[in-house]
Amino acid sequence: MSQATAHTARWRLIGFLLSAVGSMLFAIKGVLIKLIYVYQIDTTALLAVRMLLSLPVFFGVGLLEWRRRPAAQRPDARSIGLAALVGILGYHVSSWLDFAGLQSVEAQAERLILFTYPFLVILFGRLIFGHRLRFHALAGAGLSYAGLLVMFGSDPARLTPAMIGGAAMILAAAGTFALYQLFARELILRCGPALFTAIAMSAASLSVIAHFALTHGVTLPPAPPRAWALMIGLAIFSTIVPTFMMSAGTARIGAQGTAIISTISPVVTIALAIVVLGEPFGIGEAAGTLLVIGGVGLFTWIESRPGRLRARRDAVAAEVEA
């Protein structure tokens, strides 16, 4: 193996490791939130604390990235405003729906519902932009949503109105995050990944903090030290650190490689939910999990084949030129 080849292999290996660890850190979010809810902290307050702790980091990164660039390479005011609005959609609206749904839905079910968002990207892409529906996407979606039906239907006694309502909120969170993904693509090309993420997360943080101030006032919720430790852990280890790890991993192995690695996240969430939260996991949950992961995995694997990657790159290039 030549030195150049060895360097490339190490570069990609680091990318896979960064994406894998980032995915696993994101996967613990639902478990941490369930642990925090034990202390009677409501959804808006929890999300506000998470974003308040995250804001200085993302704002600082954005400021450094802005100053590093020559004036000619900085995005215009319209692109910045759109990035901020998209960020509010993806990290305020979507996150609030997800956090609220977790009050009545098990962490493992929440992760599997969110995991199906790529199919909603395809559906909304068809409805909004007229993108072509592909058979493998429909087949993967069919498998995944059948898995959710199997999982929820394995124990009908658990299907309380609160659980059904929570699941609907998490599905809505997946839908709003899918819209975020669709609208973000062109803005990422305009702003660059690091600056776009900083703008989007900073705007969402300010929006969440304003939401909290309007509904709760300016005083942070009283909570014992253990609850604060969990909330700080949520902000650092399930928000800030994985965001930058996933970005760094994607820079090395590409978005499709990161998507494949991310299939590990539901497994991590389920394992932690069983061990830490004591959530049930029987044949129905196992079958549903396999179907959901199999459906998303099938779709991601087919999308990642070289021919499809070249076609998608050409399509994106044509859109940018237009």
Q: How far is CA 59 from each of CA 51, 55, 66, 82, 240, rounded to the nearest angstrom?
A: 11, 6, 10, 17, 12
Tally helices (H) and strands (E) across the chain. 15, 0
pLDDT at 2: 61
Q: How many C-beta neighbours within 10 Å does residue 176 have?
A: 22
pLDDT at 302: 78
Task: Write the DSSP string, 261-276.
Answer: HGGGHHHHHHHHHHHT
pLDDT at 282: 87
Token pair 């084949």 in the structure block, residue: 305
pLDDT at 101: 96
Comparing C-alpha atoms, which of 95, 92, 100 is closest to residue 207?
92
pLDDT at 99: 96
pLDDT at 42: 93
Token pair 């529906």 in the structure block, residue: 133
Comparing C-alpha atoms, which of 163, 149, 137, 165 is closest to residue 112?
149
**60-68 contacts at long range (C-beta below 8 A, 24 or more positions apart):** 61/194, 61/197, 61/198, 62/195, 62/198, 62/199, 62/202, 63/198, 65/192, 65/194, 65/195, 65/198, 66/195
Q: Mind listing the pLDDT tens digit of every residue in the chain (322 residues)?
A: 566 666 677 877 888 888 889 889 988 999 999 999 999 999 999 999 999 999 999 999 999 999 999 988 899 999 999 999 999 999 999 999 999 999 999 999 999 999 888 888 888 888 888 878 778 788 888 888 898 888 888 878 778 899 999 999 999 999 999 999 889 888 988 888 889 989 999 999 999 999 999 999 988 878 899 999 999 999 999 999 998 888 788 777 766 667 677 778 888 999 999 999 999 888 888 998 899 988 888 887 777 665 554 444 444 433 333 3
b/e code 266-278 from CB counts within 10 Å (16+ = b):
bbbbbebbbeeee
Q: Model's pTM, two decimal places? A: 0.86
